[in-house]
């Protein structure tokens, strides 16, 4: 005789029916120290996220008991900062591991929807000039609008046949193209590129290139390392410096470009789901890309609130693969002229 099987709601079993919203965890019942150690952020920052994302996280639901925006945000922050769906994390806020996963998905999408609000290049003239001044103060490199580089984040293998995500180390990853300012604030983040693509190809196909070639400022440039081609809007180091001016240019370039590496370390240190120490992101490339972008949004919001500082290198296993490239010198004569003019006017 066939036995009917009921589909059970884990949270319903644990907590029963009653209120429409579950408030299993009260922020006011714990200290800031506990919140920072467990979820990575203090109380006021979490309240800010509740205000920011609350409407998106309170969408109509058919479930008998919806999880409150506050609890969803705590669950997501717990995952982002620990890289784990450990049972104790769910127990701390009173939800199952399955609900933890749903919360991460909901909060991630809500943050991604707001990415353009928090990650963008400045447009007004005064802010652009301030951006240049900040960079100039680092090592005397003029006209810099941002520093650009790529970093890899490990993901699970999409399927056995798809090799496009296999990087030079033989690991599956996403190659993420980012630009930051002198403080480490992200100005651009494209997190969806397959790990097999070299940095120069990612930049060539990126929306960032279209922005700078078609829209953005003509009176400044990004700084990129030798994995990129020299362009009129992208200054790269000289492959073999020969004159004192060329050495000074390369030293200023390196000291300024180092900001993006420090930013990558800071993001990995704060958001341990990205650093590989807990294993790869166990999602599809698309969902993994969204999680990375959500962490980038949180990184910028934390800087905006004065919460983040340069941190020590992350201890994770997933570092950017060593690039085996030749100097990506451009045949663009105008780009060469601009760099030579920069050498003569500022480093001679």
Q: What's the pLDDT score for residue 98?
A: 84
Q: What's the pLDDT score for residue 155?
A: 94
Regarding whether 139 and 107 lie in a shared domain, the answer is no
Show contacts of 117-123: CB within 8 Å, 24+ apart. Answer: 118/297, 118/300, 118/301, 118/304, 119/186, 119/187, 119/188, 119/189, 119/296, 119/297, 119/300, 120/187, 120/188, 121/145, 121/146, 121/179, 121/187, 121/188, 121/211, 121/216, 122/187
pTM above 0.85, yes or no: yes
Residue 158 lies in a domain: yes
Q: What's the pLDDT score for residue 21?
A: 40
Q: What's the pLDDT score for residue 313?
A: 46
Parts of the chain with a pLDDT under 50: 1-22, 62, 64, 311-318, 320-322, 325-326
Residue 52 lies in a domain: yes
Regarding whether 153 and 70 lie in a shared domain, the answer is no
Q: What's the pLDDT score for residue 15?
A: 38
Q: Are 24 and 94 in contact (CB under 8 A)?
A: yes
Tell me which residue range forms the domain holding 70.
Answer: 30-56+66-115
Regarding whether 50 and 148 lie in a shared domain, the answer is no
Q: What's the pLDDT score for residue 129?
A: 94
Residue 321 lies in a domain: no
């Amino acid at each position: 005789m066939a036995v009917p099987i009921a589909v059970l709601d884990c949270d319903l079993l644990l907590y029963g029916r009653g209120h429409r919203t579950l408030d299993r965890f009260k922020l006011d019942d714990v200290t800031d120290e506990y919140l920072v150690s467990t979820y990575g952020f203090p109380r006021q920052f979490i309240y800010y996220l509740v205000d920011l994302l609350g409407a998106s996280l309170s969408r109509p639901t058919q479930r008998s008991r919806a999880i409150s925006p506050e609890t969803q945000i705590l669950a997501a922050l717990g995952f982002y900062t620990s890289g784990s769906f450990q049972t104790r994390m769910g127990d701390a806020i009173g939800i199952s591991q399955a609900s933890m996963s749903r919360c991460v998905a909901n909060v991630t999408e809500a943050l991604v929807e707001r990415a353009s609000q928090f990650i963008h290049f400045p447009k007004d003239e005064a802010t652009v000039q301030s951006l240049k001044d900040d960079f100039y103060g680092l090592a005397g490199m003029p006209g810099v609008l941002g520093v650009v580089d790529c970093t890899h984040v490990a993901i699970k293998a999409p399927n056995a046949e798809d090799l496009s995500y296999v990087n030079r180390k033989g690991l599956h990853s996403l190659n993420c193209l980012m630009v930051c300012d002198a403080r480490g604030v992200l100005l651009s983040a494209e997190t969806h590129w397959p790990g097999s693509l070299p940095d120069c190809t990612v930049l060539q196909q990126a929306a960032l290139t279209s922005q700078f070639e078609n829209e953005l400022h003509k009176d400044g440039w990004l700084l990129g390392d030798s994995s990129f081609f020299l362009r009129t809007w992208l200054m790269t180091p000289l492959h073999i410096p020969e004159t004192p001016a060329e050495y000074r240019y390369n030293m200023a370039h390196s000291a300024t470009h180092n900001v993006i590496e420090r930013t990558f370390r800071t993001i990995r240190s704060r958001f341990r789901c990205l650093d590989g120490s807990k294993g790869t992101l166990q999602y599809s490339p698309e969902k993994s890309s969204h999680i990375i972008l959500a962490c980038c949004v949180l990184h910028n919001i934390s800087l905006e609130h004065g919460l983040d500082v340069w941190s020590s290198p992350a201890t994770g296993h997933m570092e950017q693969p060593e690039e085996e490239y030749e100097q990506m010198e451009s045949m663009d004569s105008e780009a060469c002229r601009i760099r030579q003019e920069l050498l003569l006017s500022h480093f001679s």
